[in-house]
Amino acid sequence: VSTSLYFIIMLSRFSKCSLLSRLALSCRAASNLSLKETLEKVIPEKQEEVKQFRREYGDKKIGEITVDQAYGGMRGLKAMVCETSVLDPELGIEFRGYPIPECQKLLPKAPGGEEPLPEGLFWLLITGQIPTEDQVSELSKDWAARADLPPHVVGMINNFPTNLHPMSQFSAAITGLQSESQFAKAYAEGINKTKYWEYALEDSLNLIAKLPTVAAMIYRNCFHDGDVCPIDPQKDWSGNFASMMGFQDPQFVELLRLYLTIHTDHEGGNVSAHTCHLVGSALSDPYLSFAAAMNGLAGPLHGLANQEVLVWLMKIREEVGDDISDDGLKEFIWNTLKSGQVVPGYGHAVLRQTDPRYACQREFALKHLPDDPIFKLVSRLYQFVPDILLAQGKAKNPWPNVDAHSGVLLHHYGLTEMSYYTVLFGVSRALGVLSWLVWSRALGLPLERPKSMSTTGLKALVGAK
């Protein structure tokens, strides 16, 4: 019933989505404007909007804080601003007001492709406007031109031991790129704070352009012969990334475009987004801020989850095989829970329905790999896990999240090295968190410094004895 309700809710949004489609042309950026020119136009408008809003409503209360929230990871606490995306508990993520199906429909695609180009979503996230095909094409070329690494970072990556986790290599290499920071240099020279966003933008564009090169070198060094093909200025960001990793299958490139699009942003409170914003609020440059975010993404409760899902799926196949009965599969799920473990890939801190990022990956699988045995297992789990979690009575959200599916698709196309999956997540997440980092500097958001309290102080505050 709940699964049906999810799709009913999604259908109820059809009129809104249709309206978004009709209004898309009016929201498209002028085709003759570059990315920076577009931002020079929209930033002053947003600055004035926020300034006036705070002037009129700055003292209004937006919620209360409970003791449980103070101890419980600040769940549900409305205490941050993030414009790039908003997560609705029932409907999932919206990028600048556009749900994933609308992004798939409206954003430019590669010639002959069906999935949106991540460059287009980056444009949407940072400007709030649907880009034209020409603007996305120019952005692809710009990133290709910026993609080379300085020699010291190349040497750094090549000297990492292969037993160092790919995410540790990724974070360290990003920190090594900080030598290229234009923001840090401009700040040291005393640049006016009204110009901070321009240098944050340049750093972000340079970093985003270089991330596939960094990630591909790590992949080839850890799992293959270390050879990485050169950047092709005629290919898009995802196409170059796939080629540098050694993948030429057009379907894999399409999957990578989808993957790098849907993992970009998930509003501002998740660990990687919050970390990037927090470190950036100290006026650390985008390289340092994003490296910190990647250390958060590497955690088992954040980006490492997609790896854990595939490990669990392989364990099921190894212990009971692909032909396990429905009752046998249900028993395996229950045994997992009774052993004190969780079912990886299910549940979410905010969502209360099936993650739309899961749904669009499932649609991709149904179209391109319907007979893959691991995909079939994922589909069967989708039938049983939510009801079992509901019966257990502990999960507020028993539905699958994005991690329940992404590893299966990557594995199907030959990217079987599970320890690398979070690096792909990190490359994608840069588009979202760096977009908001640029805006944080444009809006002059201050150093983040919440007040902490001791248990003794909390007891006194609430009158506990």
Q: What 3 state SS string does the chain have?
A: CHHHHHHHHHHHCHHHHHHHHHHHHHHECCCCCCHHHHHHHHHHHHHHHHHHHHHHHCCCCCCCCCHHHHHCCCCCCCCCCCCCEEEECCCEEEECCEEHHHHHHHCCECCCCCCECHHHHHHHHHHCCECCHHHHHHHHHHHHHCCCCCHHHHHHHHCCCCCCCHHHHHHHHHHHHHHHCHHHHHHHCCCCHHHHHHHHHHHHHHHHHHHHHHHHHHHHHHHCCCCCCCCCCCCCHHHHHHHHHCCCCHHHHHHHHHHHHHCCCCCCCCHHHHHHHHHHCCCCCHHHHHHHHHHHHCCCCCCCHHHHHHHHHHHHHHHHCCCCCHHHHHHHHHHHHHCCCCCCCECCCCCCCCCHHHHHHHHHHHHHCCCCHHHHHHHHHHHHHHHHHHHHCCCCCCCECCHHHHHHHHHHCCCCCHHHHHHHHHHHHHHHHHHHHHHHHHCCCCCCCCCCCCHHHHHHHHCCC
Active site (annotated) includes residue 302: yes
Catalytic residue among 263, 302, 411, 412: 302
224 included as an active-site residue: no
Residue tagged active-site, from 236, 277, 403, 412 = 403
Q: Which of these is catalytic: 348, 405, 411, 412?
A: 348
What pLDDT tens digit does each residue of the chain (465 aa) get? 344 444 344 444 434 444 444 344 445 555 689 999 999 999 999 999 999 999 999 999 999 999 999 999 998 889 999 999 998 887 889 999 999 999 999 999 999 999 999 999 999 999 999 999 999 999 999 999 999 999 999 999 999 999 999 999 999 999 999 999 999 999 999 999 999 999 999 999 999 999 999 999 999 999 999 999 999 999 999 999 999 999 999 999 999 999 999 999 988 999 999 999 999 999 999 999 999 999 999 998 888 777 888 999 999 999 989 888 999 999 999 999 999 888 888 877 676 778 889 999 999 999 999 999 999 999 999 999 999 998 988 777 888 888 888 899 999 999 999 999 999 999 999 999 999 999 999 999 999 999 999 999 999 999 998
Please give the pLDDT value at position 404: 86
